[in-house]
Structures are given as structure tokens and as C-alpha cells.
Chains A and B, each alone.
Chain A
């Protein structure tokens, strides 16, 4: 009798552990399903882009030359904002984007590793010298949003921030060259 009881106890403990393992497996599967479903149906993914840009010649010519920075609207209506992240500023310091339209942010760094996030949105990426960081997003509310550097980049890191000005569709008016600047306030 006394030898059979420990067997029953061990079986009960084993049964509980198996039940727990099953429950944890269901939880993990449910969590992964939520992430995959959100990615497939709502387009929420970690930004991923492998595209090289020579940091030594970034400012001289090509996409990230000074005259090309800021927000531009292409002939097909797509909105792209090009930004340089450098010690210890963003160029341009203010980026105008439309509300409720897809926007592509493209960033490059000529010096050290930087990072950005835009407050109140899911935009968050590293900006690594030698690569172009690209984020597709859509802003749901108009207003001024803070865009600080979130990767320590030197003594002036805390001073490195920019403003993202989300304009209502009516106020987002490209000029003759398809360029849009922040409204002066």
C-alpha cells in the first residue's frame, strides 16, 4: 500500500506537468498566430531593408544630396521623405507628411549608428552608416510628432531630434517640383 501511493502521486504530478506543457504550447501558438495574422492582415512588420549607400559620398551626389532631402511626392502620388541622421542633428529638422496616406521614410547616416522613433506611432528603426534604413507607414492623426535619436551617438545625442509634421490632406500641397516643406507657425 505504502509503495503504491508514491506511484500514484508521481503519476498525478506528471499528468499536471503534461497538462501545463500543453497549455503553454497553446499560448505560444496563439501568440505567434496573433503576430503572423497582424503582419498579414494589417501590414505591421519589423522594418527590413538591405540597401547599401556609401557614407563617404552620401552628401555629394545621389539620393541623399542636400537638395534632395525632405519630403517629395512622385508623379504616381507616392510620398517619400529622405532624411540624413548625423551627429547631432537630422537634416531636415522638420519633415512634412500627409495624414492617412502611405509614406516611405528613407534615412542614411554618414558617421555613426543612429536610430529613430516617432512618438505615438510604431515607427522605430536603426540608422546604420553604409545602409539605407527604410520604413513604410501611414500616419493616422495630424499634428506635430517628436522624432528623437534613440541610439546613443555621442555627447550631443540628447540634442538630436526632429519634428514630423503630419498635415491634413488639404494642407499637404506639393510645390511645382513635388516638394513639401513644414508649414511655418
Chain B
């Protein structure tokens, strides 16, 4: 019994292969996602930077300043 040939080997270019071509993009779904992506990125980055700045201010006020003058 002859084996089914691999369809990838039959394709003359990657664009002809159904394995290598990207899924079709649903424009409406993409637009819906993109409405929230900048907000999500802002919240994530804002939270990370806020924690960093809070740590800096706490160490500055509670450790660095009480250690006294220097110059």
C-alpha cells in the first residue's frame, strides 16, 4: 500500500503550504484586543516603576537621610 506523500514536500514554495501560512487575522477581533493592549502595558509598566520608585524613596528617607550629613 503506497504511503500518502507529505504535502509539505509537494509545495513549490512555503506560501503554497497550508502548514506554513499564518492564520487569517480577524480584523474585528484584532481591533478589540488593541483597544486594551496600551492600557494593559501602561498598567504593568506603571506598577513596576511605581514599586521601584517607592523602594528608592523609602531607602532615601529611612536609611540615607538619617545617616547624616557628608560632603
A residues in contact (CB < 8 Å) with B: 2, 5, 9, 12-13, 15-16, 19-20, 23-24, 27, 31, 34, 38, 42-48, 120-124, 135-140
A2 (CB) vs chain B CBs: closest residue: B27
Residues of B within 8 A of A138 (CB): 68-69
B1-9, B11-19, B59-67 - the one binding chain A:
B59-67
- Find residues 26-65 in chain B having any chain A CB closer than 8 Å to their own CB: 27, 31, 34-35, 37-39, 41-42, 45-46, 49, 53, 56, 60, 64-65
Q: Could you tell me the dominant secondary structure of chain B's interface residues?
A: helix
B21 contacts chain A at the CB level, 8 A cutoff: no
A36: min CB distance to chain B, Å: 13
Would you call A122 and B68 a contact (CB within 8 A)? yes
Which residues on the A side are within 8 Å of B37 (C-beta)? 13
Complex Cα gap A24–B42 (Å): 12
Chain A: minimal CB distance from B43 (Å): 11
| Chain A contacts for B34, CB-based, 8 A | 9, 12-13
Kindly list the 5 A-B residue pairs having the minimum CB-CB distance in the complex, ordered from nearest: A16-B38, A45-B71, A122-B70, A9-B34, A122-B67
Contact of B27 (CB < 8 Å), options: A5, A13, A44, A121: A5
Listed by A's residue number, 29 A-B pairs whose Cβ atoms lie within 8 Å are A2-B27, A5-B31, A12-B34, A16-B39, A24-B49, A27-B53, A31-B56, A34-B60, A43-B69, A43-B70, A44-B69, A46-B71, A47-B71, A48-B71, A121-B67, A121-B68, A122-B67, A122-B68, A122-B69, A122-B70, A135-B71, A136-B69, A136-B71, A137-B68, A137-B69, A137-B70, A137-B71, A138-B69, A140-B66
Measured CB to CB, the closest approach of chain B to A74, in angstroms, equals 19
Task: Report if A27-B49 is in contact (Cβ < 8 Å); known contacts: A13-B38, A16-B42, A42-B65.
Answer: yes
Beyond A44-B70, A122-B70, A136-B69, 9 extra complex contacts between A and B, CB < 8 Å: A2-B27, A19-B42, A31-B56, A42-B69, A44-B65, A122-B64, A124-B70, A137-B70, A137-B71
| A121, B63: Cα distance in complex, Å | 9
Q: Report the separation of the CA atoms of residues A152 and B12 in the bound assembly, to the nearest whole angstrom.
A: 66
Tell me how many residues of B have a C-beta within 8 Å of chain A. 23
Residues of A within 8 A of B65 (CB): 38, 42, 44
Residue in B closest to A123 when the chains form the complex, CB atoms: B70
Contact surface of B with A, Cβ cutoff 8 Å: 27, 31, 34-35, 37-39, 41-42, 45-46, 49, 53, 56, 60, 64-71
